[in-house]
Structure 1
Amino acid sequence: MKKTLLFEAAGTIEAPVERVERLMLAVRPGPVGPDNAWLMSQTGGAIEGGPERFTLRRAGHAMTVEVVGQTFAMQGGWWYRGEYTVEPHPAGTLLTHRVFNVASRGRWGVPLANRFFIGFAKNSRDGFAAGLQLIGKELGCSTRLL
């Protein structure tokens, strides 16, 4: 799969990497919720498949979810792939979010379809910062956007 990086953001979570992994990397077949595919828990849906590659079905749409090593990835539509990687850090845990263009055809059309990504970086960074705060709230710890 060809991947072109479109966005990257990182932040720290003042919690041991094992706690963050239990929250963010726990995926199994069944309903999405606070203890299953936590990153997607606000969108709902159901997960099938596994153990590393799953299909998330919600509102008539399907998205691929992969959990490999310390990475949670979600891929949907014709171009989007988002990856969250959890790694040890002196402050506790480093969380990195990357968005890739993975279109197998019509790669040139991705910026056009997304209005040349005007505001994409700011909106993505703001979304990541909000998600980082939710993780901190869930784990009862501080976070910091890098």
Structure 2
Amino acid sequence: MTELLKLHGIVEAPPDAVAAVLLDVRPGGRSPLATTGRTAPAESPQAPPAESNEARSAERHKAPPAGSDKAPPAATGQAGPAESDEFTVTRDGSVLTVTVDRARRSVTLQGEWWYRGVTSVEPDPRGSRIVHRVFDVATGRHWAVRFVSRGPLNAAPRAFADQLAALGRELGVNAWVEED
């Protein structure tokens, strides 16, 4: 994975307040990163076969055989939020996987064969620092990324400035892009 672009700016609001807006990325959400289009749960190759909560609960809480001194098995597996923080959205004919990492205050959009954009909120003495990075995640054909990435990379600074302005408006605070 190669970083192609890094942009950053300031929003004069606490990181948790900025993250509450920025991470609301589902279609119709408050985030300026909110996508339009249709959503679907993201496919996860590591996900176990679907099984109902009731079936898992009944198996975990099944009483041991009579006369046995064995305790019921400990709960295993993973619990996820009721509404997944990973989903796909179809936009302009492209399927993007959107991942929200609340602990890191970040949103990742990955699509096509080469693109990953990560936007995160970090504490800053002036409020919050918003960092947007674009990565080449192609497996092979890196030479082709130079050509297909030109449009998105050229459009990214204006889009980032617009997103910061929208965050500032939503929160009623100042926001600006920092120049290197």
Residue 88, structure 1, aligned to residue 123, structure 2: yes
Give 1:134 shift. 1.0
Deviation at 1:60, TM superposition (A): 4.5
Secondary structure of 1:108 counterpart: helix
Is it true that 1:61 corresponds to 2:94 in the alignment?
yes
What is the TM-score when the length of structure 1 is the normalising length?
Answer: 0.80
Paired residue secondary structure (1:109): helix
Q: Which residue of 2 aligns with 1:34?
A: 29
Q: Give structure 1 regions of 4+ aligned residues with deviation exceeding 2 angstroms.
A: 43-53, 57-61, 117-121
Cα distance change of structure 1 residues 10 and 103 upon mapping to structure 2, 3 Å threshold: same
| Consecutive unaligned residues in structure 1, runs of 5 or more | none
* Mapping 1:11-30, distance limit 5 Å: 11-26=9-24
The corresponding residue for 2:176 is 144
Question: Which amino acid is the alignment partner of residue 158 of structure 2?
Answer: D
Deviations 1:30-80 (Å, cap 9, x if unpaired)?
x61134x65124x34324346342212345532111112211000001101
Q: Which has the larger radius of gyration?
A: 2
Between 1 and 2, higher relative CO (CA 8 Å, sep ≥ 6) is seen in: 2
Query: Is the 1:6–1:100 contact (alpha carbons within 8 Å) kept by the matching residues of 2?
Result: yes
1:129 aligns with 2:129: no
1:9 aligned partner: 7
Residue 141 and residue 44 in structure 1: after superposition, are their counterparts in 2 closer, same or farther (change >3 A)? farther
**CA distance in 1: counterparts of 2:110 and 2:119, whole angstroms:** 12
Identity of aligned residues (%): 35
Q: Which residue of 2 aligns with 1:100?
A: 135
CA RMSD of aligned residues (A): 2.3
Q: Using the alignment, how far apart are the partners of 1:60 and 1:126 within structure 2?
A: 22
Unpaired stretches in structure 2, ≥5 consecutive residues: 43-82
For residues 104 and 98 of structure 1, the distance between their equivalents in structure 2, rounded to whole angstroms, comes to 19
Please identify which structure carries the higher strand content. 1
Q: What is aligned with 1:70?
A: 105
Alignment-derived partner of residue 45 in structure 1: 38
User: Number of matched residues?
Assistant: 136
Amino acid at match of 2:156: S
